[in-house]
C-alpha cells in the first residue's frame, strides 16, 4: 500500500523558521513534491525532489532522503501570508504516474 | 510555469442534474490529466487519471458511470458528474503534467460544485 504521513497542524511565529516533516511508504518512487494551498484555492507548486539532498528556492527549502522515506519543507523568515496548508506528495514509479497526496499540514503563523 | 484552466469556477445545480467541468492546458500538451476531489479541510483525493485517446483509469471506490471522463484532445479533459446529489458537493481540481524537466503537475484553479 501507499502511505504519506505529515503533521496535521503546526504553529509558528512571524519571522521564525519552521520545518514540516513528511514520511512516505510507496510502491516505486519518482519524485516528491511540496505544494502550498490557501483555503478555497487550488494547490501551487513549491518544490520537487527526486535525488537525495537539499533543494533551496528563496525562503523555501526541501530535503529528501530516499533511503529513509523522509522529506522536510523548511520555511524561513516566516510571513503572515505563509499561513496555509502544505501538502507533501509522492509520485510512483513512472514519469506519467499519478501523484498521491498526504493529508496536508495546516500552518498557522502568529504575529 | 505551465497554465491549466478550469471552467466553470462555480456551479450550483439541482439534485439529479448533470454537470460538466472542463480542464484545459493552455500552453502545453498534456497526454495525461488528473482529476481530484477535495472536501472541506481534507486533502486532495485522486479520482481518476485521464489519458488522451483512451479510457480513464479510476481510483478504487470512484464510480466510473457517475463520473464520466473524456480526454478529447491533448489540451482538454472533461469531467461530467451525472445525476449529481448533495453528497457530490465538493471542490473538483484537475491537474496536468507539464512535460518539462521538473515533471511536476500544475493544477487548475478548481471548480466548486454545490448540489441543492
Q: What pLDDT, in 10s, does the model give residues A17-70?
A: 999 999 999 888 889 999 999 988 999 989 999 999 999 999 999 999 999 999
Q: 10 Å Cβ neighbour count for B84?
A: 22
> Which triple of cell numbers denotes residue B112?
466548486
> B49: which chain A residues are within 8 Å (Cβ-Cβ)?
98
Q: Which of B58, B98, B54, B2 is nearest to A95 (CA)?
A: B98
Residue B103 to residue A95, Cβ atoms within 8 A: yes
Which is it for strands A105-110 and A84-91: parallel, antiparallel or unpaired?
antiparallel
Average pLDDT, chain A: 92
pLDDT at A93 (0 to 100): 67
Confidence band, pLDDT 50/70/90 cuts, at residue A94 = low
Minimal CA separation from B17 to chain A, in Å: 24
Within B67-108, strands assigned E span: 67-73, 76-81, 90-97, 105-107
Contact B66, B79 (CB under 8 A): no
Average pLDDT, chain B: 90
Angle made by CA atoms A55, A57, A58, in degrees to the nearest 5: 140
pLDDT at B103 (0 to 100): 64
* Residue A77 reports pLDDT greater than 60: yes
> B34: which chain A residues are within 8 Å (Cβ-Cβ)?
98-99
B92 touches chain A (CB under 8 A): no
Confidence band, pLDDT 50/70/90 cuts, at residue B17 = very high
* Residue B105 reports pLDDT greater than 60: yes
Nearest to B43 among A40, A96, A102 (CB): A102
pLDDT at B106 (0 to 100): 85
Contact B108, B91 (CB under 8 A): no
* Residue B100 reports pLDDT greater than 70: no
pLDDT at A100 (0 to 100): 87
> A33: which chain B residues are within 8 Å (Cβ-Cβ)?
104-105
pLDDT at B34 (0 to 100): 92
Q: What percent of chain B has pLDDT over 90?
A: 65
Amino acid at each position: 500500500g501507499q502511505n504519506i504521513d505529515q503533521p496535521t497542524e503546526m504553529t509558528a511565529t512571524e519571522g521564525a523558521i519552521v520545518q514540516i516533516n513528511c514520511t512516505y511508504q510507496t510502491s516505486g518512487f519518482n519524485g516528491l513534491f511540496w505544494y502550498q494551498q490557501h483555503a478555497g484555492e487550488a494547490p501551487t507548486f513549491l518544490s520537487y525532489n527526486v535525488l537525495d539532498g537539499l533543494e533551496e528556492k528563496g525562503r523555501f527549502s526541501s530535503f529528501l532522503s530516499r533511503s529513509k522515506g523522509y522529506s522536510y519543507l523548511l520555511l524561513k523568515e516566516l510571513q503572515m501570508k505563509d499561513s496555509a496548508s502544505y501538502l507533501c506528495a509522492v509520485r510512483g514509479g513512472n514519469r506519467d504516474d499519478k501523484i498521491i497526496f498526504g493529508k496536508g499540514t495546516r500552518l498557522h503563523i502568529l504575529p | 510555469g505551465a497554465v491549466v484552466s478550469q471552467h466553470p469556477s462555480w456551479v450550483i445545480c439541482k439534485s439529479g442534474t448533470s454537470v460538466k467541468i472542463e480542464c484545459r492546458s493552455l500552453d502545453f500538451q498534456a497526454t495525461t490529466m488528473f482529476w481530484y476531489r477535495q472536501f472541506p479541510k481534507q486533502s486532495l483525493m485522486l479520482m481518476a487519471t485521464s489519458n488522451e485517446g483512451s479510457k480513464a483509469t479510476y481510483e478504487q471506490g470512484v464510480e466510473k458511470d457517475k463520473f464520466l471522463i473524456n480526454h478529447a484532445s491533448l489540451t482538454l479533459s472533461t469531467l461530467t458528474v451525472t445525476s449529481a446529489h448533495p453528497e457530490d458537493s465538493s471542490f473538483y481540481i484537475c491537474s496536468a503534467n507539464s512535460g518539462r524537466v521538473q515533471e511536476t503537475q500544475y493544477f487548475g484553479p478548481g471548480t466548486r460544485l454545490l448540489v441543492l
